[in-house]
Amino acid sequence: MKKILVINVNWLGDIVFSTPVLKALRVANPKAHIACLVISRCEDVLKNNPRINEIIVYDEYGKHQTLLAKIKFIRYLRKKRFDEVYVLHPSLRRAMIGFLAGIPSRTGYNTKNRSFLLSRSIPAPDKLMHKIDYFLNILKSCGIKAQDRNCEFFINETDVQEAQQILKENGIGRKEKYVVINPGGNWKMKRWSAENFAKLGDMLAQKNKLKVVIAGAKKDSDLAAKIESMMKTKPVIITGSTTLHQLAAIMKASCCVISADSGPMHISVAVGANTVAIFGPTSSNLTGPVGVGKTVILQKDVGCEIPCYVQECTDNRCMHRITPEEVYEQVLRML
């Protein structure tokens, strides 16, 4: 039986973008053992994914931080005797893992001057492309074609039941309609303002009688509290109190999810939820949502080069230019 390893990337959203690669590999190798190497914080994204047989966690800054731990990890991979590895991660160190693990067929981009570590070194594309296509291009170089580009995120019945229980405990019955607001983001310039989310939440609650659920990671708790303090109607706060799969189930059952460019937004689209995606400094052409969910992307041309990674931007006008009224109109169309 062929054994395939995929060395994945480090961000939640990018892991979601890698799922079309996993699907394409499974279609091309229906009987193979396919494993995926990820860092610990991204492990849950691939939980329940039927395209893979195994998730291998590489805890580079924790359990595997020391040289001895790294050596033991490489020995562990060598014993698995993988036949092929596809290195989606662009770093030299990740390519080194496949090389030291003794995997005969090693495919990846020639980034970071790492061609000598790869048996099939692919020139990096000379034009910008969506992350999904960037990953799929690695397989294309090996003659493996993807059937579709849709991202995937899998939830099971337990996730659905737990999500329903969380909603019930927060006063939302099975037949009640609600929207999910995801206000967080991995850097501030991508976030829509708390004031805008609060105004939008009140519009949806007062005009459409919808419950408003504010979601996010534990680190977003202060942001959620700030939005709540600005709202005239009381929202349901589940920030930091759900697993990723419970959140995905809550999103899927909602009327609509409103989010800036973030990992949860990509999960929302991947599970088929109606999603309004608010884009500012990042490019929807490069990191826009792709999935089975109905999606609307709102982004304004404010004269800046996009993508823009100016962390010290003083006005963040690309996000401020999008108004609560515009988002509200898009949500109404979803409803």
Give the pLDDT score at 326: 96
The verdict on 244 and 183 lying in the same domain is: yes
The verdict on 168 and 307 lying in the same domain is: yes
Indicate the pLDDT class of residue 301, thresholds 50, 70 and 90.
confident
The verdict on 99 and 70 lying in the same domain is: yes
Give the pLDDT score at 309: 75
Structural domain total, the chain: 2
Answer yes or no: is 148 within a domain. no
Segment 161-189, tens digit of pLDDT: 999 999 999 999 988 999 999 998 777 77
Residue 295, pLDDT above cutoff 90 = yes
Give the pLDDT score at 315: 77
**Distance (Å) of CA 85 to CA 75, 99, 261, 262:** 16, 9, 30, 28
Beta strands in the chain (DSSP E): 3-7, 33-38, 54-57, 84-87, 105-109, 120-122, 178-182, 211-214, 236-237, 256-260, 275-278, 295-298
Answer yes or no: is 317 within a domain. yes
Answer yes or no: is 265 within a domain. yes
Say how far apart CA 56 and CA 34 lie, in whole Å.
11
The verdict on 106 and 168 lying in the same domain is: no
The identity of residue 129, as a single letter, is M
Answer yes or no: is 89 within a domain. yes
Q: Which of 73, 106, 140 is the last residue of a domain?
A: 140
The verdict on 188 and 308 lying in the same domain is: yes
| 87 three-class SS | strand
Give the pLDDT score at 318: 75
Segment 209-243, tens digit of pLDDT: 999 999 998 998 999 999 999 999 999 999 999 99
Supply the pTM of this predicted model: 0.93
Say how far apart CA 40 and CA 115 lie, in whole Å.
27
Say how far apart CA 163 and CA 23 lie, in whole Å.
27
Residue 190, pLDDT above cutoff 90 = no
Give the pLDDT score at 103: 98
Answer yes or no: is 166 within a domain. yes
Segment 119-170, tens digit of pLDDT: 999 999 989 999 999 999 999 999 999 989 999 999 999 999 999 999 999 9
pLDDT, average across residues 324-333: 95
Give the pLDDT score at 77: 97
Segment 33-46, tens digit of pLDDT: 999 999 998 999 99
The identity of residue 85, as a single letter, is V
Lowest mean pLDDT among 76-85, 146-155, 194-203, 306-315: 306-315
Q: Which of 108, 140, 172 is the last residue of a domain?
A: 140
pLDDT, average across residues 19-45: 96
| 295 three-class SS | strand
User: In terms of residues, how long is the chain?
Assistant: 335
The verdict on 196 and 267 lying in the same domain is: yes
pLDDT, average across residues 263-286: 93
Answer yes or no: is 70 within a domain. yes
Q: What percent of the chain has pLDDT over 70?
A: 100
Answer yes or no: is 266 within a domain. yes
Give the pLDDT score at 281: 86
Q: Which of 78, 105, 140 is the last residue of a domain?
A: 140
Segment 53-87, tens digit of pLDDT: 999 999 988 899 999 999 999 999 999 999 999 99
The verdict on 176 and 123 lying in the same domain is: no
Assign residue 200 the CATH number of its domain: 3.40.50.2000
Give the pLDDT score at 31: 97
The verdict on 68 and 206 lying in the same domain is: no
Domain, as residue range, for 223? 157-334
Q: How many CA atoms lie within 13 A of 222 on its CB side?
A: 1
Q: How high does pLDDT run on average in the chain?
A: 93
The identity of residue 111, as a single letter, is T
The verdict on 274 and 305 lying in the same domain is: yes
Q: How many CB atoms lie within 10 A of CB 73?
A: 21
The verdict on 59 and 181 lying in the same domain is: no
Give the pLDDT score at 269: 96
Give the pLDDT score at 187: 73
Give the pLDDT score at 78: 97
Answer yes or no: is 103 within a domain. yes
The verdict on 194 and 320 lying in the same domain is: yes
DSSP character at residue 220: G
The verdict on 53 and 15 lying in the same domain is: yes
Q: Given strand 105-109, what is the order of strands in its sheet?
A: 54-57, 33-38, 3-7, 84-87, 105-109, 120-122
**Distance (Å) of CA 300 to CA 53, 192, 280, 306, 317:** 42, 13, 7, 10, 9
The identity of residue 149, as a single letter, is R
